[in-house]
């Protein structure tokens, strides 16, 4: 029984450490994050920089707010599409 309790305490410690490191990483990204420029079309996006591109008026979030995507243009003809799981359009007050 003591061995199970020891592993349980170790597991809880690891979970707390992961949560604290996640919070620290989020704070560092917000505080010292990359500058993201905003554009209305892909033609105007900057090379090798993160760009926030507004989609046209036909593309809206479920709450009818504007929809944006992030892009980073390089000199390659390759394309990478990354879908972050679990993210949706919402109002920040709905999470409290």
Q: What is the pLDDT of residues 52-62, one digit of tens each?
A: 888 777 877 77
Q: Is the pTM of this model over 0.85?
A: no
The answer on pLDDT for 73 being more than 80 is yes
What count of Cα atoms within 13 Å lies in the side-chain half-sphere of residue 16? 6
Distance CA 9, CA 47 (A): 49
d(CA 24, CA 18): 10
């Amino acid at each position: 029984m003591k061995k199970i309790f020891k592993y349980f305490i170790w597991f809880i410690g690891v979970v707390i450490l992961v949560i604290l490191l996640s919070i620290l990483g989020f704070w560092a990204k917000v505080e010292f994050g990359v500058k993201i420029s905003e554009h209305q079309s892909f033609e105007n996006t900057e090379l090798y920089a993160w760009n926030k591109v507004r989609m046209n008026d036909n593309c809206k979030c479920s709450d009818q707010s504007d929809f944006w995507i992030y892009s980073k243009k390089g000199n390659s003809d390759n394309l990478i599409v990354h879908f972050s799981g679990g993210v949706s359009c919402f109002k920040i007050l709905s999470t409290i």
